[in-house]
A and B are shown apart, each in its own frame.
Chain A
Amino acid sequence: MAKTIGLSGDQAAAYAAKQCDVDVVAAYPITPQTIIVEEYSNYVADGEVDSEFICVESEHSAMSACIGASLTGARVFTATASQGLALMHEMLYVASGLRCPIVMCVANRALSAPLNIHCDHSDMMGSRDCGWIQVFAENAQEVYDWIIQSFRFAEDEDVLLPAAVNLDGFTLSHALEDLVVLEDAEVRDFVGVRKPKYWLTPGKPITVGAAVLPDYYMEIKYQQEDALQRSIMKIREVNELFEKASGRRYKAVDTYGLEGAEAAVVCLGSTAGTAKVVSDTLREKGCNVGVVKPWIYRPFPVEEFLDSVKNVKSLAVLERTISFGAPNGPLFNDVLATLYKAGRQVKVFNAVYGLGGRDISPHEMETLMMDAYENIEAEEFDKKVKFIGVRG
């Protein structure tokens, strides 16, 4: 029977990993992910989960050890944030290149310099091209649910790719929420035991991580990209199965308040919560502005996204990062490319908010949404990147 308990985002992640009967966890602590590592090691020490917990000496070694363990056929989980993710950057590519189905929880935190431990998406956006499946969660419930689903679809024979579940540092990781958790048995039934397709077993020797020259490299990379693009199909299947198990329906893109709305706001993570509340407020006032929240960021869910904005004429894309020197932020680029290739005529503008943990208030969200709403009828609109809440 499902029960409701109070957990913070980090605790929910550790709880989910425990219920999934992870075999090896190799992690290095970094704020705001430390609680995941601490809670998990408590579970190991109390015997609540039978895992090997390796206290590695750096994040780079953490990912290296995870890859090694994953290749032996074990179920592997780890967690990191900002600087740690940056330190293990080269190994992220190795993990996806070697097709290791590792599930990692990233507590999004701003990258140095200057040093800032609060939430923004610059860490995951800095590594968005590494070939991992990337999911963004809005609240602790979603963190919990997505981690369980990640094990299922990442370890699937047709996917075999590592998955990162992102949660906003401090906003989600340290805030206590009530969430509905499944029974241990239910989760174990759902994820099952990992059946690796290729793994290092003495009976069938394989060479993993060979040196590849120009004559073969592109083919191997193409296969990897193909696998990542097609993993969206498996993710949909797993979402359906999860609905049967838990009653909660997940999709690649979450939408809210789009009935009769011709304007919408696109954002990732917990900000969507604020956007949903403001959307309700504006609806009462008669302005319909919806919220489009991609759950899956990589592979970018082109079909679902286009479907959700089919009636929308004006979009505001909210970024919680800066892609320095680029004309627009990364999410905006993905959205615009998708719309352009589909031939849609949508007025899109980019707004950067919440860097380094700066809060975006409902008032600011309302202003943004009203801008999007006004753009529906406007002939010309301001295409400059807006920085929300920046003084001077």
Chain B
Amino acid sequence: MVTLKELSVEELFGPGHRMCAGCGPAITARMMTKAFRGPTVISQATGCLEISPTIYPHTSWDIPWVHTAFENAAATASGMEAGYKALRRKGLVKEHVDVIAVGGDGGTFDIGIQALSGALERGHDMVYLCYDNEAYMNCLPGDTLVMTESGVKRIDEIQLGERLYTFNKDSNTLAVSRCSGLFDNGVRPVYEIVTLHHLIRSTPNHPYLVVNRRGRGRGRELRWRMLSELRVGDGIVVLKRLARGEAFKFFSPVTRNHYKVHRLNEVKIPTQSSPELLEYLGLYVGDGWVRPRKGEVGFAITEGSTRKRLLELHKRLFGEDTLERLDEYYVYFNSVNLARFIHSLGFGRGAKSKTIPSWVFTLTEDEKEAFVEGLLLSDGYRYGKSYRYVSSSQDLLKRLRLLLQTMNYRVGKITWQTAKKGKKFPHRTLLKDTGCGFLCFSKKRSWNLEKDWSQYRYQDPLIETDNFTVEAVRRVEYVGNLRTYDLRVEKDHNFIAEGVVVHNTGIQRSGATPHGASTTTSPAGSKIPGKPEWKKDLAGICIAHGIPYVATATIAYWNDFLTKMRKAIEVEGPAVVHVLAPCPLGWRSEPKDTIKLSRLAVQTRYFPLYEYENGQYRLNIKVSKPQPLEEFLKLQGRFRHLFKPEFRKEIEELQRFVNLNYERVAKLCGEA
């Protein structure tokens, strides 16, 4: 940190140049020179800051300065740095000369990125200052089932603040986190990943947790990889078992004093779930129906062991006094309370509407097992060494599959057969379109490692924990264009969708993004509101080169900028400083607002100020109470079109994006 008194009075970037009134880059240039420590030379790329101060025969620079072309400030600086090095070695140059390359956002981000990348890679001892005077969401289709604490829910039904199950990467265990964001991302192309037991659909840029085997003798690690990068055989982390020790508590039943209740059978309605109730419900799902208004619960079970079991369960659960009527094919229980109770549980009424409500997923292991037992008693059968369950409700089969996955069962895919109206069967002709399907599953054997010690090969100690396992990807294929959504989960930043661990929104974002900004090459028209693409994350790109120092700065925080500039000069090796410098002409703002805009950019979290020094990130200006992004946008004419009612949601999108980017940066800096 410096004080104003310590800054030199000498003006190395002198007045009299032809920059506009209120020009951000000009302020940047002058401030930059205050951070020099000794003999310095500048290699500048073509741009505003290059032309306006050096119109022949005048110049503003009181230090050696060279401009060669637009895209090669970094390359010219490389040559200069090497020249001084060689001459110093031969004794022809005595002092150390600092080499600074200066480029605008044009000469750096696009045409200049080659030269910058080459120079960073070669590790020249120079500073690259970019004066900047200017993300893409991943998603899942709407019917994806997400594991929440209160059961399984469709992704489009999740509320903000809902508690979701997540995968804690540090301990490889199940954890719970809150959902802090919901996103409707519109219709996008969707692909499907099929593993041994799981099936999930998402857009190609959605990240999955992949086990990265680094070769013989090297360890394994978990990495996030996008769907588009997955190959057949890659192992992704999936949920194996989801069990909590709590039985589910139900609602309270109707009493004698209710309207239109004439006769009430004394039925004991259980207040919480138990294995027997679940077995009963399993039977119900397979073979039962309910008519709540009539007060009837029926089962289509013929005389036999199943009926005996049903009656036994019924007596145990609901008491001796239920009015039951037995038929050759059916069993009827007449009780309004019972009917309403069963109806309220959410298992559905008729054959096609049967499903498994989400609270079943929160039950204990043995309750779930009992449920499956009940299902098998009704519509299931043994098939070789495994079981098959038949149903005409596709939703039921899907949820059953998910449920079995959480019980660490081995599940196959759902085989669905349809038959159209009018199809002739030996015994009758179909009167309407029908469909029915089956699901094959079996219990997994647990290996006795002491007895079969060679089975260690099939265990994956990295991941084979109580709740998670790794499954290999078998197929990735295109499904179609679907309406997609995404969630933002705090802390662990992932959630479990269809039993597969997926990342939430917010890792592939870039900072300083005039998405939606109107420029001459991407004008804001009546249909397309300005630039649709998102800008590159320059700091991220430079950090990825592994250089010792990268920082972002802006002119309003001059002390911070000077400190960073000085650090960049002093570090041995390449350093990059990305400075946001508002341009009144390009931003169509008032010249008097330049500093205000640059301060607002930081205070609205639009441009986070952070630095990366030898592997450590540090957030320099923490914005705990950000101002709304609108305050920043409304001062600029280039965003004026976004304030029209039809483009308003672009502002919300930008705000959301800005928040996510700041959180990404804050997390990198350990401030999340």
B-binding residues in A (CB < 8 A): 23-24, 26, 50-52, 54-58, 60-62, 64-74, 76, 90-91, 94, 98, 193, 200-202, 205-213, 216, 220
Q: Is the CB of B118 within 8 A of A201?
A: no
Contact for B69 among A66, A72, A91, A211, CB less than 8 A:
A91
Interface check B625, CB cutoff 8 A? no
Evaluate contact between B69 and A68: CB separation under 8 angstroms. no
Q: Tell me if B117 is interfacial: C-beta within 8 Å of chain A.
A: yes
The chain B residue sitting closest to A212, CB to CB, is B56
A65's partner among B65, B76, B92, B95 (CB-CB below 8 A) is B76
Let me know if A205 and B64 touch, CB within 8 A: yes
Q: Which residues of B contact A206 (CB under 8 A)?
A: 64-65
B202 in contact (CB, < 8 A):
no
A73 and B86 CA atoms in complex are apart in Å by 10
A71→B77 CA distance, assembly (Å): 11
User: Smallest distance from the beta carbon of A78 to chain B beta carbons, Å?
Assistant: 10
Contact of A210 among B54, B90, B118 (CB under 8 A): B54
Q: Which of B52, B75, B80 contacts A72 (CB 8 A)?
A: B80
B55 within 8 A of A: yes
Q: Does B346 contact A (CB under 8 A)?
A: no
- A26 and B90 contact, Cβ closer than 8 Å, known pairs A200-B41, A210-B56: no
Q: For residue A22, give the distance in angstroms from its CB to the closest CB of chain B.
A: 9
Residues in B neighbouring A24, C-beta threshold 8 A:
79, 82-83, 86
Given A56-B118, A91-B68, CB of A64 within 8 Å of CB of B76:
yes
Task: Report how far A212 CA is from B93 CA in the complex, Å.
Answer: 31
> In the complex, which residues of chain A have a beta carbon less than 8 angstroms from the beta carbon of B97?
72, 202
Is A208 within 8 A of B65, CB to CB? yes
Could you tell me if A64 and B67 are in contact, using CB atoms closer than 8 angstroms?
Answer: no
B14 smallest CB distance to A (angstroms): 11
From the candidates A26, A211, A216, name the one contacting B54 in the complex (CB within 8 A). Answer: A211
B490 in the interface (beta carbon within 8 A): no
Given contacts A50-B90, A72-B84, A64 and B56 within 8 Å (CB-CB): no
- Please give 5 more A-B residue pairs, beta carbons under 8 A apart, in addition to A26-B79, A52-B86: A57-B121, A60-B75, A64-B68, A67-B79, A210-B59
B80 adjacent to A68 (CB under 8 Å): yes
**B59, B66, B90: most-surrounded residue (chain A CB, <10 A):** B66
Return chain B residues, CB-CB under 8 Å to A220: 56
Cα(A288)–Cα(B89), bound, Å: 57
Task: Judge whether A61 and B75 touch: CB under 8 Å.
Answer: yes
CB 8 Å contact bits of B166-199 with A (1 = contact, 0 = none): 0000000000000000000000000000000000
CB of A203 to closest CB in B, whole Å = 8
B122 touches A211 (CB 8 A): no
Known contacts A60-B71, A91-B72; A201 and B64 CB within 8 A of each other: yes
Contact A74 B117 (CB under 8 A): no
Decide: B39 and A202 in contact? CB cutoff 8 A.
Answer: yes
9 CB contacts below 8 A, A to B, read A23-B86, A56-B78, A68-B43, A69-B86, A72-B79, A206-B64, A209-B54, A210-B67, A216-B57
Q: Is B63 an interface residue (CB 8 A)?
A: yes
Q: Which residues of B contact A70 (CB under 8 A)?
A: 79, 83
Please give the distance in Å from A222's CB to the nearest CB on chain B: 14
B77 cross-chain contacts in A, Cβ below 8 A:
68
Inter-chain CA distance A26–B59, complex, in Å, is 29
- Min CB distance, A238 to chain B, in Å? 23
CB distance from A150 to the nearest CB of B (A): 19
Report whether A207 and B65 are in contact in the complex, using a CB–CB cutoff of 8 Å: yes
Contact A69 B80 (CB under 8 A): yes
SS of A interface (majority): mixed
Contact A74–B87 (Cβ < 8 Å) = yes
**B40 is an interface residue with CB less than 8 A from chain A:** yes
Whether a CB of chain A sits under 8 angstroms from the CB of B51 is yes
Q: Are A61 and B72 in contact (CB under 8 A)?
A: yes
Pairwise interchain contact B86-A74, C-beta atoms closer than 8 A:
yes
Contact across chains for B122 and A55 when beta carbons are under 8 A apart: yes
B34 at the interface (CB under 8 A from A): no
Asked if B332 is an interface residue, CB under 8 A from chain A, the answer is no
A205-B64, A208-B65 known; A65-B87 Cβ under 8 A: no
B75–A200 contact, CB under 8 A?
Answer: no
Q: Which residue of chain A has the shortest Cβ distance to B58 in the bound complex?
A: A210
A371–B80 CA distance with the chains assembled, in angstroms: 54
Residue of A nearest to B78 (CB): A65
Q: How far is the CB of A227 from chain B (nearest CB, A)?
A: 18
C-alpha spacing A94/B67, complex, angstroms:
10
Decide if B387 is an interface residue (CB 8 Å cutoff).
no
* Given known A-B contacts A202-B63, A211-B50, A23 and B114 have beta carbons under 8 A apart: no
Closest 7 CB pairs of A and B: A68-B79, A65-B79, A202-B39, A57-B118, A72-B83, A209-B67, A69-B83
Closest to A21 in B: B90
Interchain nearest-CB distance for A355 vs B (Å): 31
Q: Is B646 among interface residues, defined by CB-CB distance under 8 A? A: no
Flag B1-29 by CB within 8 Å of A: 1 or 0 each: 00000000000000000000000000000
Q: Is the CB of A213 within 8 A of B66?
A: no
A200–B64 CB distance below 8 A: yes
B61 and A205 contact, CB distance less than 8 A: yes
With A26-B78, A50-B86, A64-B75 given, is the CB distance from A202 to B95 under 8 Å?
yes
Q: Which residue of the partner chain B has the closest CB to A23? A: B86
Write out, one digit per residue, whether chain B residues 89-129 have a CB within 8 A of any chain A CB (1) or not (0).
11011010100000000000000001101100110000000
State A2–B647 Cα separation when bound (angstroms). 80
Across-interface contacts of B67 in A (CB, < 8 A): 208-211
